[in-house]
Structure 1
């Protein structure tokens, strides 16, 4: 599931031409495609996005270095203060990618010292609900149903969180497939929120 976080981070820094291999390596293998246990020179030449430059190097030609110019997209990253403000103005619908048990506070967080529960006003959509049984992203119509089942309107702004800002990116990716390309992720997510004793939370704290 970390591939979605990489996808999101590239987009945060202004690189929009990035894709995720749906189903990952397991689906690649199941589809009968070749895999290698190490990267040979030929494999790098074929697989690298910079294959043209690498080919020139192999041929002894000079290649001028290129610096990727980042363009930070702050609207895709939310801070703790923005989430606090959202509790008041409710500008965005807040969805949480963690399991229902962690969201409800009936299961402990995997990180020691983190309170159990969720940010007030958020709704739980566990990230596995974005996938089918083969671990590939659901078709758009099925994804839409998943969000509608939790009363999430695709016509209104949405922001996503999770435990550490990783699986929330899967929700953002699912929404991206539905045409919502501006969904921010709360980077600190529950781990940051729950370590602040003065911040409100909802759920059963008995397992914290």
Structure 2
């Protein structure tokens, strides 16, 4: 990676050097696809970076919605984080057990809630473990900490806003799903969804933004990936994916190259693919 930035991404070396800082808080935000057959919380209990709290993406969400892990109400976010001992004045580092998969979603969620002092651990738990660094299976000591939330509504988009952007062409809509799902050649993992993509969107598969070891590519390489995908970085960007998790990897990558006018379509394909009145495109365009 190019450099450590406590508001976007930090290295394992940075975390090791700061792990005992009194105002550092570490979050394990591991989340697995429903058909992976893995239990993220159980894996956290068995092995996590010292002091890490478990951030449950499915639980800290809006349970009033039929869609998976939608943005929680502000009050719920505040209360859950306070109970985890995370609040104002803390530098947060978030990681996951797949290298870089679900951690970016929590980074984006903190930013949405007006909490900018959060960074993703580059390479996540796999890199930390591969380097022989300390792990533990003990629950952390937690003290309540007040959190002030100032929701940044411009960072999230709903189906109506995405439909308008698709029709007008005034945003770049960037889809993080695999090329097979984007073109409609592959079935969706969630039953009952149409196949294809939002008309006018571009496919930027999240894996193309990562190195083989799960770390994020350099800002120079990221910019080249966006160029190769035909992305006009002069337009504001809206990211999307299957259910709003890997889309945030694109948001993180955009932030790493200095682009700040980006948002995330929270409902993503779980909503668009089930919505009967919005159009679906297939193929490469």
TM superposition score category, shorter chain reference:
0.7 to 0.9
State the TM-score, normalized to the length of structure 1.
0.84
Match of 1:58 in 2: none
Of 116, 119, 132, the match for 1:19: 119
**C-alpha displacement at 1:181, in angstroms?**
2.3
State the TM-score, normalized to the length of structure 2.
0.62
Of the two, which has the highest radius of gyration? Answer: 1
Match of 2:150 in 1: 71
Match of 1:60 in 2: none
Of 220, 227, 235, the match for 1:148: 227
Is residue 166–residue 173 contact of structure 2 (8 Å, CA) maintained in 1?
no
- CA distance in 2 between counterparts of 1:18 and 1:187 reads 20
- Is the aligned partner of 1:158 residue 2:234? no
Higher strand share: 2
- CA distance in 2 between counterparts of 1:83 and 1:36 reads 43
Give the gaps of 5 or more residues in structure 2: 1-100
Of 187, 190, 193, the match for 1:108: 187
Match of 1:61 in 2: none
Give the gaps of 5 or more residues in structure 1: 49-53, 55-64
- Is the aligned partner of 1:29 residue 2:142? no
- Is the aligned partner of 1:94 residue 2:192? no
- CA distance in 2 between counterparts of 1:76 and 1:5 reads 12
State the Cα deviation string for residues 107-128 of structure 1 (Å, max 9, x = none). 0000010111111000111100
State the Cα deviation string for residues 58-106 of structure 1 (Å, max 9, x = none). xxxxxxx653110010100001010111122222111100000001101
**C-alpha displacement at 1:11, in angstroms?**
0.4
State the Cα deviation string for residues 139-168 of structure 1 (Å, max 9, x = none). 010001100001112222111100111100
Higher helix share: 1
- CA distance in 1 between counterparts of 2:213 and 2:135 reads 19
> Does 1 or 2 have the higher relative contact order (CA < 8 Å, sep 6+)?
1
Is residue 157–residue 265 contact of structure 2 (8 Å, CA) maintained in 1?
yes
Of 257, 264, 267, the match for 1:188: 267
- CA distance in 2 between counterparts of 1:67 and 1:156 reads 37
**C-alpha displacement at 1:27, in angstroms?**
0.2
Q: What is the root-mean-square deviation of aligned Cα atoms in Å?
A: 1.4
**C-alpha displacement at 1:37, in angstroms?**
2.1
Runs of 4+ in 1 over 6 A off after TM superposition: none
Query: Across the two proteins, how many residue pairs are aligned to each other?
Result: 183
